[in-house]
């Protein structure tokens, strides 16, 4: 399933890879007569896809997974997640959490994630250590954290430790990740715009996630968040809007005109009762949409197959039309459209000659995916993460027949268990 051309399924085909890059896609029988590969991998009954892309997450938050479920958003954030973060976020926590998250994502067929969290330089280092592709969003906020005290420090650390360091890196791209309009002053946004232009890197932001966020902004600033951002010059083709749940018709038109992309995180929006993003309307307006899991504290899995299934089913129900989103659209939102949303579609997102060999292989020869009338439909509506058999990142074989080749998951689980003991103990006195 090369994604380009749209909806294509090439039976009995081969993908030829050299030095981490795809050099040919052709019928397997022809490939056998032309090429003498050093390694040949056969996967009958499987499908091969471009590696899945997680358009939005906070990877290290896996260590807070399940700490505060079934709470209203206010209480979830203010009574549990933020206190836990203030108490526990550190370089060590971010490294351990990001490792666990990368193990989970690779196992689920994800070859690239767009992250935003504190200690982004540690997220980048960890991704490189584990040979995972990542878009590292450097956080910016006016409030202090273990990483920085104010917007100025967030931005200077971001530039010194991340944007300059990883410019041109084969696995890492960087962007600015101001948390939200309620977390930053106009001055901070102006500074971000100037830096983003200078460094030529994109910006991503949580925007219009909840009705309360929009209402509070109107009350406090007289403007809806998107309007304020537009007036500050940040609404353009290098902006990624995360969530975009509560938007009106004019705002959809503005986003479409500006060429903004959306990171759609339906499970997080459902779990926190934020609402239903108008996915069908976004697509009808020609807006590019990638799929993200959000962090594991509000999902609670980093599983893009599960997320596209939910996104598709939900879009049909919200639109009241079972035909609004096809299975092939869902697959595209998890691959090529996701790559566009995070600015790396020239490198990954489809199986085409010249692109990087980020590849995911899925076993459809399971009872729960049989029979196979339409392979794309079976991937979107039936395939679970455990059916992901193999994953390659830039040609490196990371998952082989369901086993991570280069990551010791036993030690990750031990570390996770240690964090659980520590964090649980700290919750006791409340």
In the complex, what is the shortest distance from the CB of residue 234 to a second copy, in angstroms, rounded to a whole number? 29
The count of residues interacting with a second copy (CB under 8 A) is 69
98 binds a second copy, rule: CB under 8 A: no
Q: Of 11, 70, 168, 354, which lies in the binding site for a second copy, with binding defined by CB under 8 A?
A: 70
In the complex, what is the shortest distance from the CB of residue 45 to a second copy, in angstroms, rounded to a whole number? 9
Contact predicate 423/63, CB 8 Å:
yes
Spell out a b/e string for 404-413, using b for 16 or more CB atoms within 10 Å of the CB, else e: beebeeeebe
9 binds a second copy, rule: CB under 8 A: no
Q: Of 4, 26, 28, 73, which lies in the binding site for a second copy, with binding defined by CB under 8 A?
A: 73
In the complex, what is the shortest distance from the CB of residue 319 to a second copy, in angstroms, rounded to a whole number? 7
Q: Of 51, 76, 109, 344, which lies in the binding site for a second copy, with binding defined by CB under 8 A?
A: 76
6 binds a second copy, rule: CB under 8 A: no
Spell out a b/e string for 277-311, using b for 16 or more CB atoms within 10 Å of the CB, else e: bbbbbbbeeebbbbbbbbbbbbbbbbbbbbbbbbb
Q: Of 9, 30, 32, 72, which lies in the binding site for a second copy, with binding defined by CB under 8 A?
A: 72
272 binds a second copy, rule: CB under 8 A: yes
Distance CA 422, CA 93 (A): 11
Q: Of 253, 386, 405, 408, which lies in the binding site for a second copy, with binding defined by CB under 8 A?
A: 386
257 binds a second copy, rule: CB under 8 A: no
* DSSP β-ladder status, 46-50 and 21-27: unpaired
166 vs 282, beta carbon nearer a second copy: 282
The whole-angstrom distance between residue 332's C-alpha and the CA centroid of its chain comes to 14
Only segment of 51-59, 114-122, 348-356, 362-370 that touches a second copy (CB under 8 A): 362-370
For the record, the structure tokens of 230 come out as: 């537009």
Q: Of 275, 352, 396, 406, which lies in the binding site for a second copy, with binding defined by CB under 8 A?
A: 275
Q: Which residue has the tokens 């794309």?
A: 376
In the complex, what is the shortest distance from the CB of residue 187 to a second copy, in angstroms, rounded to a whole number? 34
Q: Of 274, 293, 335, 389, which lies in the binding site for a second copy, with binding defined by CB under 8 A?
A: 274
In the complex, what is the shortest distance from the CB of residue 169 to a second copy, in angstroms, rounded to a whole number? 26
90 binds a second copy, rule: CB under 8 A: no
Distance CA 45, CA 25 (A): 18
* DSSP β-ladder status, 403-404 and 396-400: antiparallel
254 vs 372, beta carbon nearer a second copy: 372
* HSE-CB for 361 with a 13 A CA cutoff: 23
Q: To the nearest 5 percent, what fractions of the chain are helix, strand and coil?
A: 45, 20, 35
5 binds a second copy, rule: CB under 8 A: no
Q: Of 374, 403, 405, 411, which lies in the binding site for a second copy, with binding defined by CB under 8 A?
A: 374
Q: Of 69, 150, 160, 257, which lies in the binding site for a second copy, with binding defined by CB under 8 A?
A: 69
399 binds a second copy, rule: CB under 8 A: no
Q: Tell me whether residue 34 is exposed, middle or buried, using C-beta atoms within 10 angstroms of its C-beta: 0 to 12, 13 to 18, 19 or more.
A: exposed
293 binds a second copy, rule: CB under 8 A: no
165 binds a second copy, rule: CB under 8 A: no
From the list 214, 272, 212, 271, the residue with the least C-alpha distance to 241 is: 214
From the list 409, 402, 415, 394, the residue with the least C-alpha distance to 134 is: 394
3-state secondary structure of 209: coil
The whole-angstrom distance between residue 219's C-alpha and the CA centroid of its chain comes to 32
Contact predicate 392/106, CB 8 Å:
no
From the list 285, 292, 293, the residue with the least C-alpha distance to 258 is: 285
Contact predicate 226/249, CB 8 Å:
no
For the record, the structure tokens of 220 come out as: 């406090």
413 binds a second copy, rule: CB under 8 A: yes
141 vs 314, beta carbon nearer a second copy: 314
178 vs 375, beta carbon nearer a second copy: 375
The 48-67 site mask, x for binding a second copy (CB under 8 A), equals --------------xx-xxx
Q: Of 303, 337, 363, 390, which lies in the binding site for a second copy, with binding defined by CB under 8 A?
A: 303
Q: What residues make contact with a second copy under the rule CB under 8 A?
A: 62-63, 65-67, 69-73, 76, 100, 103-104, 107-108, 267, 269-276, 299-303, 306, 310, 313-314, 316-317, 319-327, 365, 367-368, 370-374, 377-378, 381-382, 384-386, 409, 412-413, 416-417, 419-420, 423-424
């Amino acid at each position: 399933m090369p994604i380009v051309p749209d909806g294509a399924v090439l039976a009995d085909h081969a993908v030829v890879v050299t030095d981490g890059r795809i050099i040919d896609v052709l019928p397997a029988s022809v490939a056998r007569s032309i090429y003498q590969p050093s390694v040949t991998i056969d996967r009958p009954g499987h499908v091969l896809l471009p590696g899945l892309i997680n358009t939005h997450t906070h990877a290290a938050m896996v260590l807070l997974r399940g700490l505060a479920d079934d709470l209203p958003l206010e209480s979830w954030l203010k009574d549990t997640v933020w206190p836990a973060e203030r108490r526990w976020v550190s370089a060590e926590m971010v490294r351990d959490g990001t490792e666990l998250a990368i193990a989970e994502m690779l196992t689920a067929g994800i070859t690239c994630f767009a992250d935003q969290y504190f200690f982004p330089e540690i997220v980048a280092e960890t991704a490189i250590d584990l040979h995972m592709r990542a878009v590292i969003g450097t956080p910016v906020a006016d409030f202090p954290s273990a990483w920085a005290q104010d917007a100025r420090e967030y931005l200077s650390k971001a530039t010194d430790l991340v944007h300059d360091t990883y410019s041109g890196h084969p696995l890492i791209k960087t962007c600015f990740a101001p948390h939200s309009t309620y977390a930053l002053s106009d001055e901070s946004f102006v500074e971000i715009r100037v830096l983003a232009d200078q460094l030529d890197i994109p910006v991503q932001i949580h925007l219009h996630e909840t009705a309360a966020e929009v209402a509070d902004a109107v009350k406090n600033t007289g403007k809806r968040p998107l309007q304020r951002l537009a007036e500050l010059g940040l609404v353009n083709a290098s902006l990624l809007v995360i969530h975009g749940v509560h938007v009106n018709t004019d705002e959809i038109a503005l986003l479409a005109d500006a060429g903004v992309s959306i990171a759609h995180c339906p499970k997080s929006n459902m779990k926190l009762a934020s609402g239903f993003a108008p996915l069908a309307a976004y697509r009808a307006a020609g807006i590019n949409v990638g799929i993200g899991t959000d962090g594991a504290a509000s999902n609670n899995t980093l599983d893009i197959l599960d997320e596209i299934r939910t996104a598709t089913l939900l879009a049909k129900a919200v639109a009241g039309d079972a035909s609004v989103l096809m299975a092939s659209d869902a697959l595209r939102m998890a691959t090529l459209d996701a790559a566009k949303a995070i600015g790396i579609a020239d490198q990954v997102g489809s199986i085409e000659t010249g692109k990087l060999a980020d590849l995911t292989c899925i076993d459809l020869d399971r009872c729960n995916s049989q029979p196979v009338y339409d392979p794309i439909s079976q991937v979107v509506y039936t395939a679970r993460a455990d059916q992901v058999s193999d994953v390659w990142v830039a040609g490196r074989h990371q998952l082989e027949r369901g086993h991570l080749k280069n990551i010791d998951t036993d030690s990750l689980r031990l570390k996770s268990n240690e964090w659980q003991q520590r964090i649980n103990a700290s919750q006791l006195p409340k």
